[in-house]
């Protein structure tokens, strides 16, 4: 049996877990994306009149390739292809009087519910956590909000850039005189759901012991600010190192991003052995004995002079030449690549950490890569094999096979625009 066939035959870690996906945009769908990749059966619920907002994100893929606007009804947002894979798509209008009973039937069949609506949305619809507890006491309910479900002092709505602004992360990149720098990837929208998944898995484990579920309450602001607090920025400034140090990290010098003749490279040499290796690579091994650079504390104190020396060294070589020297000397270093090259790195593609994205109907219409599963198990199968569902694609399957509704009832619900 081939390795791929053997891997496919392995069990999925969460194949016995069913997740009700009440999420939109990115933070929530990314959490359920991860759970789906780990094997959970994820049932994504969307409003029949307006699906997940990610379905409207440019660019789109269609039979003619990629485009910034839809050219046909078959065009699908790359965001939707990225985030909605391995999910069953159903529709349910929670504002309809008939929807509450149907929603209860769904909740009874699920182990987990994930939502990232504005704080209090499900409560206002009469299907909040207290109601959910009564319907299914074992349910693990995960809410991902901007500021936590118990915070009435902050706006109910939050976007990633708002969270980046308030978390302090915008003042961790760039130089001392630069304006705030927004991190290019939506950090809060990715970090918060990862904590959500960790919380869900822990709560499932506890529920299996106790028979009782709980509310896993995730704050995007809290998740990102917690990460910012991992570095003592203000303390370093009090000790004489600016909070924002641009391309380098003085407290670990030699450490940072440096220009070469044809690009940039990253150099990370914080230990004594690595620092000595760097001076060897730079053809100045005697600098290891210079009192200004002989110890880590001395290098930190004299980081400006050291950084200037590094720039002269790297600036005299191409990236390939500099990296060859550093590698021979045992110094961690790498070329700074653009996203296009990075996501196509054979190492991450081979491990399924990034994957080619396919149009659900037409397949590989464009060379585009998206999110894979960055966890490789020795005894489990994880990853993504199913395309994103169209709006309500699995209504008949879920309502008939999982809830046991008759064809006549499903047809009536469609006529009434409940689903």
- pLDDT, tens digit, 9 for 90 and up, residues 235-288: 888 888 888 888 999 989 999 999 999 999 999 999 999 999 999 999 999 999
pTM of the model: 0.93
Average pLDDT over residues 54-60: 95
**87 backbone dihedrals φ, ψ, rounded to 5°:** -115, 145
* Encoded tokens for 144: 């991902």
Average pLDDT over residues 119-135: 94
**Half-sphere exposure at residue 399, Cβ-oriented, CA atoms within 13 angstroms:** 26
Kindly state the percentage of the chain with pLDDT values over 70: 98
With a cut of 50, say whether residue 112 has pLDDT above it: yes
CA-nearest of 175, 194, 174 to 183 is: 174
What pLDDT band is residue 352 in, cutting at 50, 70 and 90? very high
Question: Sheet of 65-67: strands edge to edge?
Answer: 65-67, 60-62, 76-77
Question: Residue ranges of the domains in the chain?
Answer: 3-227+346-415, 247-259+264-335
Mean pLDDT over the full length of the chain: 94
**Half-sphere exposure at residue 367, Cβ-oriented, CA atoms within 13 angstroms:** 4
Does domain 247-259+264-335 fall under CATH 3.90.79.10? My reply is no
Question: Sheet of 41-46: strands edge to edge?
Answer: 87-91, 41-46, 18-22, 112-115, 140-145, 215-219
Spatial separation of the C-alpha atoms in residues 36 and 19, rounded to whole Å: 9
Q: What is the model's pLDDT at position 3?
A: 52
CATH code of the domain made up of 3-227+346-415: 3.40.50.10540
What pLDDT band is residue 9 in, cutting at 50, 70 and 90? confident
Spatial separation of the C-alpha atoms in residues 141 and 20, rounded to whole Å: 9
Spatial separation of the C-alpha atoms in residues 116 and 29, rounded to whole Å: 9
Helix ranges (DSSP H) in 178-230:
187-210, 220-228
- Asked if residues 202 and 208 have their Cβ atoms less than 8 Å apart, the reply is no
**Half-sphere exposure at residue 345, Cβ-oriented, CA atoms within 13 angstroms:** 12
With a cut of 50, say whether residue 132 has pLDDT above it: yes
- Asked if residues 275 and 265 have their Cβ atoms less than 8 Å apart, the reply is no
With a cut of 90, say whether residue 30 has pLDDT above it: yes
């Amino acid at each position: 049996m081939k390795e791929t066939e053997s891997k496919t035959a392995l069990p999925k870690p969460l194949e016995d877990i069913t997740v009700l996906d009440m999420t939109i945009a990115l933070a929530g769908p990314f959490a359920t994306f991860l759970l789906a990749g780990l094997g959970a059966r994820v049932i994504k619920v969307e409003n029949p009149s307006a699906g997940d907002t990610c379905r409207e994100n440019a660019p789109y893929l269609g039979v003619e390739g990629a485009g910034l606007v839809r050219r046909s009804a078959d065009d699908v947002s790359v965001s939707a292809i990225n985030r909605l894979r391995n999910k069953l798509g159903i529709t349910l209008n929670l504002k309809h009087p008939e929807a509450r009973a149907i929603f209860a039937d769904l909740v009874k069949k699920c182990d987990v519910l994930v939502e990232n609506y504005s704080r209090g949305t499900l409560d206002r619809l009469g299907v909040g956590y207290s109601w959910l507890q009564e319907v299914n006491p074992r349910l693990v309910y995960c809410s991902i909000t901007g500021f936590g479900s118990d915070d009435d002092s902050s706006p109910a709505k939050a976007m990633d850039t708002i969270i980046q602004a308030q978390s302090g992360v915008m003042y961790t990149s760039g130089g001392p005189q630069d304006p705030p720098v927004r991190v290019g990837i939506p950090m809060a929208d990715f970090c918060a759901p990862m904590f959500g998944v960790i919380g869900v898995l822990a709560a499932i484990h506890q529920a299996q012991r106790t028979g009782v579920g709980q509310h896993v309450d995730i704050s995007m602001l809290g998740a990102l600010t917690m990460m910012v607090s991992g570095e003592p920025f203000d303390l370093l400034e009090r000790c004489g190192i600016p909070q924002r140090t641009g391309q380098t990290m003085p407290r670990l010098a030699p450490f940072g991003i440096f220009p070469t003749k044809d690009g940039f490279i990253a150099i990370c040499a914080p230990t004594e052995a690595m620092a000595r290796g760097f001076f060897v690579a730079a053809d100045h091994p005697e600098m290891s004995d210079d009192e200004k650079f002989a110890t880590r504390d001395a290098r930190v104190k004299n980081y400006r002079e050291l950084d200037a020396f590094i720039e002269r060294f790297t600036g005299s070589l191409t990236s390939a030449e500099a990296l060859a020297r550093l590698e021979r000397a045992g110094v961690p270093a790498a070329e700074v690549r653009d996203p296009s090259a990075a996501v196509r790195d054979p190492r991450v593609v081979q491990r399924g950490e990034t994957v080619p994205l396919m149009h659900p109907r037409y397949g590989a219409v464009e060379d585009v890569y998206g999110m894979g599963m960055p966890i490789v198990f020795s005894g489990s199968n994880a990853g993504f094999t199913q395309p994103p569902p169209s709006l309500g694609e699995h209504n008949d399957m879920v309502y008939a096979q999982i809830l046991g509704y008759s064809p006549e009832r499903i047809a009536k619900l469609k006529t009434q625009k409940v689903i």
